[in-house]
Amino acid sequence: MRYDTDAGGAGEVGGFSSAAAARAAAQQFSTWRGVVGVVGGRRAPESAEPSVGLTMSRWASLWLDSRDVAPTTMAQYRSLVRNHLEPRFGELRLGEISGLDARMWALSLRSRYADATVDTIMKLLSMLLADAARERLIPANPIFPARRGRRPARVRPAIVWADPEQVLRVGLRACELVGGWAGLLIVTAAWTGARWGELLGLQRHNLHLDVDRGRGWMVIDAERGALHEVNGVFSLGRPKTAHSARTVELPPFLVGLLARHLECHAHPHVFVTRRGEYPRRSNFARRALHPAADGTLAHSRSRWKWAPIATGLTFHGLRHSHATWMIADHIPAAAQSYRLGHALPNAIDQVYSHIAPELHTHLIACLQHRWDHALTAVGGHVVGENGHRGRPDALAQARRRAKIRRAALRPQPEPPLTGASSAPESAAPAPAMPRVSTVRWRPRHRRRVDPR
């Protein structure tokens, strides 16, 4: 959709699905003062009412329809426009939005939202106004970096990372809370540095395991290497960046753990819940990661009484942990960037840097050593503050406890009589012991274990 501007130039907006959609947008544009509609139309009169023009709500709708971004990014843009920009600026014309109003609104938002959220909102508003200025809808973008006054001294909170022993303890607790797949997911994230979507999108045919030799690697596909969750709907798509498509080598211990894990289910994806469903990131953080890392002492109704291990640890913090381990092991920056799926800041280094096989061998040896050290420190089990001894295979332990209870409740047969009875002959025979049921009452918040 093309139009003429006051300066005598031409502007255009693309991305419409049909000619009818472009004509409808042109009718909206034609109401703006000094702007002509479609090609072949006539220039609007100079005496047009300045109160009539393109509103922020309409411009945001046109702008979003013309974007070619990832589904997750588009979902974030639409959410910010719907929940923040439209309630404040939706009915205003583009020319009525001033930089002062935008900055005062940003100050009011910082009292209710995190700084990162407010920065994202203002960045989106600036993008909308900058593109409107580029299309000659407004003279200039009213939002620009403020260089006057005192600059706010913001301290960015540091990302919490964990050492191998802490990661292993958190993983073992996650096994107790959710299941063995959750603990393995945490360990895999920490020892590979992969993102959440990359691990959830990992399929069987992209995981190559040689258990006999203790070698393995996972392939993150460039087209379908990440699982995206948009508005509750899962879909496979591209990973975050072009450099995210890579091959990640696995340490020997992780090869064995993943091989045994794949024998427990037949789903095409590697990491699924016990019901064969895709884990949701918010549920996983609330039910598994946060209670395991932050502890449960603040939750009076929790079954477990655990002290904190790494307060504030997030799933992305496991990726930071992997990067921190590689720095401590003196792994070169080129190898770190490749394993994490990053691009080197220097374009020349990106082109000429290569990773020798000896460096891969050294990296895998360091990761295996960290696992062995953490396993030795933990001792194969974790003792909670309430005296409960949690093991990596929580289901096997529950089965052993059920077996012990059944043995205790099973009626014992009477020993055979080998001699004369000492009881008087007139005494009545003792009644047979009734069979005791093995079903016992348990609190409702405890998970029942199938004794089979």
Task: Give yes or no for a contact between 177 and 302, defined as CB atoms under 8 angstroms apart.
Answer: no
Query: Which residues lie closer than 8 Å to 149 by C-beta, 6 or more apart?
Result: none
- 200 touches 376 (CB < 8 A): no
Question: DSSP character for 205?
Answer: G
- Alpha carbon distance 209, 188 (integer Å): 14
Q: What pLDDT digit, counting tens, does each position of 415-444 carry?
A: 554 444 444 444 444 444 444 344 444 445
Q: Is residue 292 within 8 Å of 309, Cβ to Cβ?
A: yes
Residue range 309-321, pLDDT digits in tens: 999 999 999 999 9
Contact 311, 348 (CB under 8 A): no
Average pLDDT of the chain is 79
- Res 383 pLDDT > 50: no
Q: Could you give the C-alpha distances from 407 to 173, 338, 443, in angstroms and in order? A: 29, 55, 22
Q: What pLDDT band is residue 152 in, cutting at 50, 70 and 90?
A: low
> For residues 188 and 203, what is the distance between their CA atoms, to the nearest angstrom?
14
Residue 198 scores a pLDDT above 80: yes
Q: Which tens digits make up the pLDDT trace of 49-62?
A: 333 468 899 999 99
Per-residue confidence at 29, pLDDT binned at 50, 70, 90?
A: low
How far is residue 442 from each of residues 349, 369, 446, 448, measured CA to CA in Å?
62, 43, 7, 8
Residue 306 has pLDDT above 60, yes or no: yes
- Average pLDDT of 366-380? 89
Structure token digits, residue 288: 């598994």
367 — pLDDT class (breaks 50, 70, 90): very high
Q: Judge whether 22 and 146 are in contact, CB under 8 Å.
A: no
- 391-418 pLDDT, tens digit per residue, is 444 545 555 666 676 666 666 555 554 4
pLDDT of residue 414: 54
Average pLDDT (256-264) is: 93
